[in-house]
A and B are shown apart, each in its own frame.
Chain A
Amino acid sequence: MIPAGTAFSLLILALAALAAGLVARRVRLWKSGSEARLVSAVGRTISAVSADKLIAGLKALPRRYLVDVHHVVGRDPYAARMHALAAGGLLGGSLLALAGLIPVLGMSRLFWAVVALAFAAALAGGFMVGRRRLPEKPARLSGGRFQRLPLYLAAYTGGGLLVALAGVLPPLAPQALLASFGWLGLALAAGGGIGLVLQIDRGPMRHAFAGAAHLVLHPRPGRFEGERATALAALDLDAPRLGAATPADFPVNRLIGFDACIQCGRCETACPAFAAGQPLNPKRLIQDLAAAIEPNATNAAYAGSPYPNARPVAGVGGPALPLVGAGAMIHPDTLWSCTTCRACVEECPMMIEHVDAIVDLRRYQTLELGALPLKAAPPLMELRYADETAGRPLAARTDFAAGLTLPLISARPAEKGPAEVLLWLGEGAYELRYGRTLRALVTLLLKAGVDFAVLGPEERDCGDLARRLGDEATFQRLARANIATLARYSFTRILTADPHALHALRNEYRAFGGEYEVVHHTAFLDELAASGRLTLGALGQARVTYHDPCYLGRYNGEIDAPRRLLDRLGLERLEMERSGKRSMCCGGGGGAPVSDIEGERRIPDIRMGQATATGAAIVAVACPQCSAMLEGVTGERPEVADIAELVLMAVEAAKLPAAQVLA
């Protein structure tokens, strides 16, 4: 037994006790939140407070951590290795060293060799942490306490290594030297260890235990079961307070989620609003939410990138104080900048649900305060009294199809049985540009002999805009009305070209009793082509790049069918710098176009820049919002075409002898 070794083990014990005290302090703060709740894949909310749910969460923890978290962290292999070494080495080494109190082990040189190995690994991890931040810290990483982390890590793990080496080396080195080695190591480890433990309360080490607790009590457990789990939670409109005004209005497990943030800044590099210079930074938002749970909280400790063009706020808060407002932590413009694209959620290694938090805060602003951006109120008013965002006649939704056969489902003879597909037209049908897309789609359905029908004047707005703007009351009214309409007709599937409508109908209506098989037009056209119901010609050698709509790719995981379909057209397909589930938003979702929060650039301009960079002549889109936003980009740029339009060109090309439709 070496004296420094024993002292080291005791130090770890003391540090663990200190850590436990600090954790307990934080847990007490969490308790200011409301009852923990889980959200099912379809947006139903259930209580999370039950022993079996907790046990299930605990049992699932290792898998959630090693598989799901690692899957996200592993996108940056350097970070993954760094984390494995630092965290694994630190925890492993410390736990082993604690076991050194057992006399048999404490006397064993082999034991100390293993400890030394663990701390060597941790030291290497700490070195990687330092190398990432020094000499120059990347913008997305936070400074302040975070910048001291590599120092503490090096001191603690280096100290541990020295102590362990003092236990390994006795026969090889003079006793006195080793003893001074050991005590030096102990002193280092004590300094570093105290620094690290204090960072549990405020600093990077908080994510270690809050992250574990967050994974156990994650509000959307479905995400670990392979579900997309992206439907917003249905709000009980009879609840005493609608939405979240204060930290205490968030369920406990959501507060834990905010504390799990390690400020890695992956969200801010993915956020389209951040890129456009709008006052939103998802990382800062989560930090403001996490900071506000302390009494007399301020936002002063934050040392990462700010909200771009931040609007001034007082930056003060508390568990029962308002979160949003110029006199609070978060400026309303921050909330309304979000496009709800979920890119931050997709990138977050701690699986934090930023969009859920934003929508909860918006719900309070909209439903309780009526504090909406100037131009967001009129569309909601029109929705209330005309079931349509611009107050246009519902019967005018089919005007785009003038001259085409568009069978109404209400006029369908009963003997024909259920329609193969019900075509949901969506808001885009009123727009001139998207009308062209829908005409192409309807023409394709007619050519393929698909037995389809539309609701015509009975189709109301799906409620997507209202819901994202926090107007849950209007969303639920529209959802119930649409479900009642759909219940009167018989069809096998719903087909839509609007991913926002698809998401609402497929996932969000379920909480209100509407269960439908909903298919996006890209998947449906792909089916038609695969089964030979549509004969496609080749479109020549044009280069095309596909822009994934957030509500199709990220929200619903559908990224393959559109690409398969494009490949069938014989086009040269190029991928943008960001694509698939990690694609970048066009700026059209979440009511962002009506909220119209001023930034420095426009999101569609940035996205179009990425498309242009591929050298493609065509940006293929699959969503009315994307089509409108990208068409709004001026100057030299690739042409914007919906996949349905390209497919129609290919079908028409199949009939021409050797025509090359696209030059």
Chain B
Amino acid sequence: MKIVVLLSAGRHRVSGQPAPVPVELQALRLAVELGGEVTVLHAGPELGALADALGHGVGRLIHRVIADGDDPLPSLMAALTDNPPDLILAGRSGQGGEDAGLLPYSLARALGRPILADAAGLSAGPEAGTLAVEQALPRGARRRVVLRLPAIVTVHPAAPAPLPFAFAAMRRGVIESAPGISAPQAVEVEERPYRPRPKLIAKAAAGASAAERLKAATQAAGGGGTLLVDPSPEEAARAILAHLAALGLRRDG
């Protein structure tokens, strides 16, 4: 199977230094462990720290050089139609652009391929030309989906951790650089430095009524918690279950 993993121009979440996006390295691991011929692909002005992907289990990196601010889609399309892979993997949401996670969908639409989101595990499907995807849903639930190939799959952070970096493997890796397709994008949005906002509301329980939401909000605002000193075990147990029920953690409480 031929697999291409898309890399985006990531930055470290704290230092802001160029860095591979962790979930894309996780995608790379899924690809390597699925087996086959794996390459990584990036379209952007420069590689920077992305060459480090070669230290995470892949031997070949294709770089399409485009200007800063160019739409990477045409360049990626060109690189992917040259030698079409069976499977394209991408992170759930890339970095460096709008970080909206739209690119894999646009790519799927442009290539006319199906897309499936949030893979936490990949394995060969029940018959040739199919892929079994373990899809991560919130809070540890999963959906096992069988998908017809070729396809695009995005990878979820619940996938196994990236393969550890091996410096010498990075040194041995091959980088193929070629000019990409110039595609300037119209800028529609106004941009300014990020300003974190407080989350607006306290989380209320699933299916909460207005009264429950009010209670949740007042509890959170109240700060300090409730203290029971030396209650009887039964008293303590009732208090705990009541509290858990208020948090929406007891279906039958």
Name A residues whose Cβ lies closer than 8 Å to a Cβ of B: 237, 241-242, 366-372, 374, 376-378, 380-381, 384-388, 391-394, 471-474
Complex Cα–Cα for A386 and B13 (A): 9
B13 → A minimal CB distance (Å) = 7
Question: Does B166 contact A368, Cβ atoms closer than 8 Å?
Answer: yes
- Choose, from B49-57, B185-193, B230-238, the stretch at the interface: B49-57
Question: Does B49 contact A242, Cβ atoms closer than 8 Å?
Answer: no
The dominant DSSP class at the B interface is: loop
A391-B15, A393-B14 given; A372·B164 CB < 8 A? yes
Question: Does A370 contact B17, Cβ atoms closer than 8 Å?
Answer: no
Q: Residues of B within 8 Å of A, CB-based: how many?
A: 21
> A472 contacts which chain B residues (CB < 8 A)?
167
Question: Does A370 contact B14, Cβ atoms closer than 8 Å?
Answer: no
Complex Cα–Cα for A377 and B22 (A): 12
> A391 contacts which chain B residues (CB < 8 A)?
12-15
Question: Does B55 contact A370, Cβ atoms closer than 8 Å?
Answer: yes
Q: Residue on A with the closest CB to B55?
A: A370
Question: Does A377 contact B49, Cβ atoms closer than 8 Å?
Answer: no
Q: Residue on A with the closest CB to B166?
A: A370
Complex Cα–Cα for A382 and B18 (A): 12
Q: Residue on B with the closest CB to A375?
A: B161
Chain B 144-180 interface 0/1 with A at a Cβ cutoff of 8 Å (1 = within): 0000000000000000011111111100000000000
Our pick among B12, B15, B49, B169 for the contact of A370 (Cβ within 8 Å) is: B169
> B14 contacts which chain A residues (CB < 8 A)?
386, 391-393
> A381 contacts which chain B residues (CB < 8 A)?
162, 165
> B166 contacts which chain A residues (CB < 8 A)?
366-370
Complex Cα–Cα for A376 and B162 (A): 12
Question: Does B15 contact A380, Cβ atoms closer than 8 Å?
Answer: no
Question: Does A242 contact B167, Cβ atoms closer than 8 Å?
Answer: yes
A385-B17, A386-B14, A391-B13 given; A367·B168 CB < 8 A? yes
Complex Cα–Cα for A385 and B52 (A): 11
Complex Cα–Cα for A387 and B169 (A): 21
Question: Does B12 contact A385, Cβ atoms closer than 8 Å?
Answer: yes
Complex Cα–Cα for A376 and B19 (A): 18
A386-B14, A386-B15, A391-B15 given; A370·B161 CB < 8 A? no
Question: Does A473 contact B167, Cβ atoms closer than 8 Å?
Answer: yes
B167 → A minimal CB distance (Å) = 4
A464 → B minimal CB distance (Å) = 18
A385-B17, A385-B19 given; A368·B169 CB < 8 A? yes
> A388 contacts which chain B residues (CB < 8 A)?
15
> B13 contacts which chain A residues (CB < 8 A)?
391
A238 → B minimal CB distance (Å) = 9
Complex Cα–Cα for A472 and B167 (A): 9
Q: Residue on A with the closest CB to B165?
A: A370
A370-B56, A386-B15 known; 16 new pairs, CB 8 Å cut-off, are: A241-B168, A366-B166, A366-B167, A367-B167, A368-B166, A369-B166, A370-B55, A374-B161, A376-B164, A380-B165, A381-B165, A384-B49, A391-B13, A391-B14, A393-B14, A393-B15
A629 → B minimal CB distance (Å) = 25
B202 → A minimal CB distance (Å) = 28
Complex Cα–Cα for A376 and B164 (A): 9
> A385 contacts which chain B residues (CB < 8 A)?
12, 15, 17-19, 49
Question: Does A371 contact B164, Cβ atoms closer than 8 Å?
Answer: yes
Complex Cα–Cα for A384 and B56 (A): 13
A658 → B minimal CB distance (Å) = 40
A661 → B minimal CB distance (Å) = 33
Complex Cα–Cα for A393 and B16 (A): 10
> B169 contacts which chain A residues (CB < 8 A)?
368, 370
A240 → B minimal CB distance (Å) = 9
Question: Does B15 contact A368, Cβ atoms closer than 8 Å?
Answer: no
A385-B15, A386-B12, A386-B15 given; A380·B168 CB < 8 A? no
Complex Cα–Cα for A380 and B57 (A): 16
Complex Cα–Cα for A367 and B55 (A): 9
Complex Cα–Cα for A368 and B166 (A): 5
> A471 contacts which chain B residues (CB < 8 A)?
167
> B161 contacts which chain A residues (CB < 8 A)?
374, 377-378
> A394 contacts which chain B residues (CB < 8 A)?
15
* 24 residue pairs bridging A and B, Cβ less than 8 Å apart: A237-B167, A367-B166, A370-B56, A370-B57, A370-B165, A370-B169, A374-B161, A377-B161, A378-B161, A384-B49, A384-B165, A385-B12, A385-B15, A385-B49, A386-B12, A386-B15, A386-B17, A387-B15, A391-B15, A392-B14, A393-B15, A394-B15, A472-B167, A474-B167
Q: Residue on B with the closest CB to A470?
A: B167
> B165 contacts which chain A residues (CB < 8 A)?
370, 377, 380-381, 384
> A366 contacts which chain B residues (CB < 8 A)?
164, 166-167
Chain B 173-212 interface 0/1 with A at a Cβ cutoff of 8 Å (1 = within): 0000000000000000000000000000000000000000
Complex Cα–Cα for A471 and B52 (A): 14
Complex Cα–Cα for A378 and B13 (A): 14
Q: Residue on B with the closest CB to A396?
A: B14
B20 → A minimal CB distance (Å) = 8
Complex Cα–Cα for A371 and B169 (A): 12
Q: Residue on B with the closest CB to A377?
A: B164
Q: Residue on A with the closest CB to B12?
A: A385
A456 → B minimal CB distance (Å) = 15
B170 → A minimal CB distance (Å) = 9
A499 → B minimal CB distance (Å) = 26
Q: Residue on A with the closest CB to B15?
A: A386
Question: Does A242 contact B12, Cβ atoms closer than 8 Å?
Answer: no
Q: Which of B101-158 contact A (CB under 8 A)?
A: none
> A376 contacts which chain B residues (CB < 8 A)?
164
Complex Cα–Cα for A637 and B162 (A): 41
> B55 contacts which chain A residues (CB < 8 A)?
370
Most interface-central of B12, B56, B57, B168 (chain A CB within 10 A): B168
> A371 contacts which chain B residues (CB < 8 A)?
164
> A368 contacts which chain B residues (CB < 8 A)?
166, 168-169
B32 → A minimal CB distance (Å) = 11
Complex Cα–Cα for A381 and B49 (A): 12
> B167 contacts which chain A residues (CB < 8 A)?
237, 242, 366-367, 471-474
Complex Cα–Cα for A377 and B12 (A): 16
Q: Residue on A with the closest CB to B170?
A: A473
B18 → A minimal CB distance (Å) = 8
Q: Which of B1-50 contact A (CB under 8 A)?
A: 12-15, 17-19, 49
Complex Cα–Cα for A372 and B165 (A): 9
Complex Cα–Cα for A377 and B52 (A): 14
A381 → B minimal CB distance (Å) = 7
A370-B163, A378-B161, A385-B49 given; A242·B168 CB < 8 A? yes
B144 → A minimal CB distance (Å) = 26
Q: Residue on B with the closest CB to A376?
A: B164
> A237 contacts which chain B residues (CB < 8 A)?
167
A192 → B minimal CB distance (Å) = 51
Complex Cα–Cα for A385 and B13 (A): 9
Complex Cα–Cα for A315 and B229 (A): 59
Q: Residue on A with the closest CB to B49?
A: A385
Most interface-central of B15, B19, B164 (chain A CB within 10 A): B164
Complex Cα–Cα for A473 and B166 (A): 10
> A241 contacts which chain B residues (CB < 8 A)?
168
> A387 contacts which chain B residues (CB < 8 A)?
15
Q: Residue on B with the closest CB to A387?
A: B15
Complex Cα–Cα for A241 and B167 (A): 11
A245 → B minimal CB distance (Å) = 11
Complex Cα–Cα for A393 and B165 (A): 22
> 3 tightest CB-CB pairs across the interface, nearest first?
A370-B166, A385-B19, A377-B164
Complex Cα–Cα for A386 and B20 (A): 12
Q: Residue on B with the closest CB to A386?
A: B15
Complex Cα–Cα for A371 and B163 (A): 9
> A384 contacts which chain B residues (CB < 8 A)?
19, 49, 52, 165
